[in-house]
């Protein structure tokens, strides 16, 4: 095998390994997002179980502070987080699919 072919093969393998690293990182990110989504969905469920007269406190620095409007704000924040995380999961899934396609193409090249 000539040096140029061997060098080309080594470059192709290095590129494939880089794609694999990116893929692994994307999968880890998606897993973390899924965990965050489950946590926020559970918080949303818990908010739904609260009675109307339940107290909700907000952490401001090291202190818990009571406020009348904190419940509305907290529910709204959790809904926004769920929407954001859901969007990030969709984006992450798209990236994973693209990286899978890249892996397959590079595997065929090698």
pTM, full prediction: 0.81
Q: Which token pair is 39?
A: 């946590």
Structural domain range at position 52 = 3-109
Grouping H, G, I as helix, E, B as strand and the rest as coil, residue 60 is strand
Grouping H, G, I as helix, E, B as strand and the rest as coil, residue 93 is helix
Q: Which residues, including other chains, have CB under 8 Å from residue 40's CB and lie 6 or more apart?
A: 78, 81, 82, 85
Alpha carbons 54 and 78: distance in angstroms, whole number: 17
Q: State the CATH number of the domain containing residue 88.
A: 1.10.287.370
* C-beta separation of 17 from 102 below 8 A: no
Query: What is the total count of domains within the chain?
Result: 1
How confident is the model over 60-102, as pLDDT tens digits?
899 988 887 888 888 999 999 999 999 999 999 999 999 999 9
How confident is the model over 20-49, as pLDDT tens digits?
999 999 999 999 999 999 999 999 999 999
């Amino acid at each position: 095998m000539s040096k140029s072919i061997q060098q080309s093969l080594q470059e192709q393998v290095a590129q494939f390994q880089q794609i694999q690293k990116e893929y692994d990182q994307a999968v880890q990110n998606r897993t973390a997002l899924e965990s965050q989504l489950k946590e926020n969905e559970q918080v949303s469920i818990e908010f739904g179980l609260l009675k109307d007269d339940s107290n909700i406190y907000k952490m401001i620095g090291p202190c818990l502070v009571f406020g009348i409007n904190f419940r509305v704000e907290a529910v709204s924040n959790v809904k926004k987080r769920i929407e954001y995380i859901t969007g990030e999961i969709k984006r992450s899934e798209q990236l994973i699919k693209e990286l899978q396609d890249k892996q397959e193409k590079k595997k065929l090249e090698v």
